[in-house]
Amino acid sequence: MNTCHPRILNDPLLYPYFKDCVGAIDGTLISAWAPVDKHNVFRSRKGDLKQNVLDVCDFNLMFTYILAGWEGSANDARILADALRRDGHFPWPPESKYYLVDSGFCNCPGFLSPYRQHRYHINTWRGAMFEPKGPEELFNKRHSRLRNVVERAFGVLKVRFPILKGPMPRYSIRRQVNIVIACVVLHNWLRANYRDDWFFTRAERGEFDPDENADNEHHILRQSQQDVDIQSQFRDTLAASMWSNR
């Protein structure tokens, strides 16, 4: 985690701005089955039954952490807070390093989120007329471009293992959680041993549709105002540097 990944190092639009980034975090919705008395908590905003899975992904399209089993109605920040409270398994970034997260998470040390109230997702930047209009938009565009690795990893996972897209059989919640974990383990093994795998090649070319994110609403983790201010100042410095060197 202490070295800059070639994906960043070899891209002048990303380096040196994101040189301390070690990966990306996001939640994804996985098809679920639940007994009738639990439908309300497993029902996503779109009305279908889902489990919300939190993942940490590196820039090799490999998952470095997964927390499965949360209900589809749970927001990403709540699940991340649960992950951080657990018994030391969460891969905290080294000091001064950070993960990219979306606007559903807090912008605080260890986690760098985009500017809210500004365009963000990749498909909003297509075409010359949609070029960034200021430092905040330029930062968001490059942040989205780099953080997209986690959505591409989700895309590979769900295309390779269609059970994750559903319909999910009438399995127990524990078995459904184990299915997700097994799929992630197989995904990582294939990535480590078959770099030219067809699914990964397609993902690197951007051929998979964006993943169905679990939650893009804003939910604050409990952080001191000082921590939030420090990370906001760091983000402003990056954005200003990108804009002046564009």
At residue 221, the pLDDT reads 57
Provide the mean pLDDT of the chain: 91
Tens of pLDDT, residue by residue over 15-24, are 999 999 999 9
Q: Does position 61 have pLDDT exceeding 90, yes or no?
A: yes
Mean pLDDT value across residues 84-112: 91
- Kindly report whether the peptide bond that precedes residue 93 is cis, defined as omega within 30 degrees of 0: no
Mean pLDDT value across residues 217-241: 83
pLDDT band at 6 (very low <50, low <70, confident <90, very high): very high
Share of the chain above pLDDT 90, in %: 74
Higher pLDDT residue, 144 or 209?
A: 144
Q: Does position 212 have pLDDT exceeding 70, yes or no?
A: no
List of E strands, 6-132? 21-31, 50-57, 63-71, 98-100, 111-112
Q: Does position 219 have pLDDT exceeding 60, yes or no?
A: no
Selection from 186, 178, 177 nearest residue 157 by Cα: 186
Q: Is 147 helix (H, G, I), strand (E, B) or coil?
A: helix
Q: Does position 181 have pLDDT exceeding 60, yes or no?
A: yes
Tens of pLDDT, residue by residue over 35-53, are 999 999 999 999 999 999 9
Give me the sheet containing 111-112, strands edge to edge: 63-71, 50-57, 21-31, 98-100, 111-112
Mean pLDDT value across residues 102-113: 92
Tens of pLDDT, residue by residue over 65-81, are 999 999 999 998 899 99
What is d(CA 6, CA 141) in angstroms, rounded to the nearest whole number? 19
Mean pLDDT value across residues 151-175: 96
pLDDT band at 211 (very low <50, low <70, confident <90, very high): low
> Mean pLDDT lowest for which of 67-71, 224-228, 236-240?
224-228
pLDDT band at 214 (very low <50, low <70, confident <90, very high): low
At residue 123, the pLDDT reads 75
